[in-house]
Every structure is written in C-alpha cells, then in structure tokens.
Amino acid sequence: METKTNDFTITEDLIRQATSYVPLSIKGAFAKTRADECLEKVDISVQKLEADTLLALPAMWQENTVIKQAVLMYAFLTLYLHVENVPNNFSVEDYDKYAHTHPLNQLERLKTNSAVKEKVFDIIADYKEFKKMLDIEIYNVKTAKNDGMERALAAVSVISSPEAVKAMAEEMQHISQSIQEAQKKRKAKKQVAEQENSDANKN
C-alpha cells in the first residue's frame, strides 16, 4: 500500500508532547471500565436445547480479540500520544485507519533517534504495563462471569420471577399429561393382549 499524505505519522514533536507515564489510578480505572466490552457471549449449541425453555443458564463468556485490539489502540492514541480527533466510540474501522500505519513499529524505530529515544523507551515500557493490567482485568471479569456459583445464582434469579414460575408449572403440567396418556395407552394394549390370550385359550 502506498503511503498517503494523510497517513498517521509519529513525529518528534508528537513524542515531545506525549505522556511517558500514565498514573496507575488512571490505568486501573481505564482497564476496569473497558474490560467488560472486550468480552462476548459464547454461542454454545447445548444452551439452545428445548430444555432451556424451562431453565436457561446464563451464557458463558469469552474474550473478543477484535474489540480488545481496538480498545488498546484507543488507549495508546489518547492516553499516551494525545492524538486529536480520536472518536470516543472507537470502531474497528477507526482501528484500521491507524493500525495500517503500524504506530507501535513507528515508535520502535524512533529508539535510534537521540532527541527522543529516552522518552520513546519510557512510553513503550509504560504501555506494556497498561496492557498487562487490561489483560488481567479482562481475565478477572471473564472468570467472575463464568464462575459456576455465580451462574447458578443467576439461574435461580431467572426462575424466581413470576413468569418463569408460571412457565415451569405449565411445562410440568404438560409432562404430567403426557405421562398419563402414555400409561393409558400401555394399559389399553395390555388389556387387548390379555383378551386375545383368553380367547386363544378358550379355542
């Protein structure tokens, strides 16, 4: 791809006005507020069984790597480089707009620039620490959401609603009627078989 005049470029001036250390409280707050959006529900076919109409367990969760990369890019551009006009609702298309210029590689190449290399090293080191914090927070949120006890308690809260109780009662009534009909059919077949045996013995 040819370089366009409006491609994003990390310059010496951009590095000079950049933040080389984001306070721990800000990194932590950002990780906590954005970790949840980096998760998505797992599409488990077992949860689509007919039995789920009676008791549907809460969904399992997994990491959405696409959203996570967008969140990381947004943090890099705003928390560290203070790039202007970066939208708050940073989309995948916004990510591609910057990512195709390989901003982290641009930063790495500036390690040889004596005018800014010390700050470049500091930015990269602090950004790596932020990334670790986000990874840990995503893992913690995912673990909490997928915890067996948490899911069981959530299921109990689901079935404790009046609508769910009514649905369960109707389902149990349907099952009871089905059992009774099956028993009647078996009894009728047994009576027919006994009558046929009796007639055969008489002959």
Q: How confident is the model at residue 177 (pLDDT cuts 50, 70, 90)?
A: confident
- Please tell me the distance from the alpha carbon of residue 125 to that of residue 93, in angstroms, as a whole number: 27
Closest CA to 69 of 105, 96, 36: 96
In this structure, are 35 and 119 located in the same domain?
yes
* Residue 182 belongs to a domain: yes
Q: How many CB atoms within 10 Å of residue 78?
A: 16
In this structure, are 120 and 132 located in the same domain?
yes
In this structure, are 32 and 44 located in the same domain?
yes
How large is the C-alpha radius of gyration of the chain? 31
Does 190 have pLDDT greater than 80? Answer: no
Domain range enclosing 126: 12-160
Length of the chain: 203
Could you give the residue ranges of the DSSP H alpha helices within 23-89?
A: 24-35, 65-75
Q: Looking at the 3D structure of the chain, how many domains does it have? A: 2
Report which residue type is found at 106.
Q
In this structure, are 93 and 149 located in the same domain?
yes
Q: How confident is the model at residue 174 (pLDDT cuts 50, 70, 90)?
A: confident
Least confident of 59-68, 114-123, 150-159, 185-194: 150-159
Q: How far apart are the first and last CA of the chain?
A: 97
Quick one: tokens of 19? Answer: 């933040």
In this structure, are 53 and 117 located in the same domain?
yes
In this structure, are 131 and 192 located in the same domain?
no
* Cβ(85)–Cβ(98) below 8 Å: no
| pTM for this entry | 0.69
What would the pLDDT profile of 113-167 be if each residue is shown by its tens digit?
A: 999 999 999 999 999 999 999 999 999 999 998 886 555 666 666 556 677 667 7
Which H or E run contains 63?
Answer: strand 61-63
